[in-house]
Amino acid sequence: DVTSAEDGEAAIAAALAAFGRIDVLVNCAGIAPGERIVGREGPHDLGTFARVVAINLTGTFNMLRLAASAMAGQEPGEAGERGVIVNTASVAAFEGQIGQAAYAASKGGVAALTLPAARDLARHAIRVVAIAPGIFETPMVAGMPKDVQEALGAAVPFPPRLGQPSEYAALVRHIVENPMLNGETIRLDGAIRMPPR
C-alpha cells in the first residue's frame, strides 16, 4: 500500500536488505476511476476523489520521500549521484478528459511535484524525473473491449497504436543513464493530445 508509511518503510527496508542500496525508484502505482463532477446520481463522490489523490499523488510522495532518505545516506556512485527517482504522471495532467477530474488532478500533482523535488534533493545528488505516458497497454486498458483498444491506438498520431510497457521501461533506462535529465516531466505519447471526451 503506497499510501501507508509503514508499508513504504517495509518496502524500502526489503530493498536495502536485498541489494544493500537503492539506486532507482520507479513510482508507477495508480488508479483511474472515471466520474463526472456532477453526474446522474449527484455530485462526484468525495471519497473517490480523495482515494485517487491518496494513491496517485500522496503514494508517489510517500515512496519518493522514503527512497530519497535512504539514497541520501548512501555513498555516491561513479557519476557522483546517489539515486534517481522516476515518477509516473500522465498526459491527463495536461489534457484531462470529462470524467477524469480526480485522475487529472492527481497526475497534475505528480507533474508539479517533479521540479521542486529535484531542486530539493539536488543537494543530496538525487535526481527526480517524471514520465507522462499517453495511452499504453496496461492492465486497465487490457480490460477494455478489443475494438475500444484498437480505436484508442488509432487515435495516436504516430505510431498509431498503444504504447508498450517496454517503451516506458526504455525511457526509464535512458533517464537513469542520462545525468542531465532532472526536474522534467517527459511526455511519452506518440504526439497524442487528448480530446475532451
Q: What is the DSSP string of 96-144?
A: PPTTBHHHHHHHHHHHHHHHHHHHHHGGGTEEEEEEEE-SB--HHHHTS
Catalytic residue among 2, 62, 96, 103: 103
Question: C-alpha grid cell for residue 144?
Answer: 477494455
Q: What share of the chain is helix, strand, coil (3-state, %, to 5)?
A: 50, 15, 35
**Cα–Cα distance measured from residue 123 to residue 10, given in angstroms and rounded to the nearest whole number:** 26
CA-to-CA dists, residue 97 to 94, 102, 103, 157, 189, angstroms = 10, 10, 9, 18, 16
**Cα–Cα distance measured from residue 68 to residue 57, given in angstroms and rounded to the nearest whole number:** 16
168 is catalytic: no
Strands (E), the chain: 24-27, 38-39, 42-43, 83-88, 126-133, 185-188
The catalytic site residues sit at 103
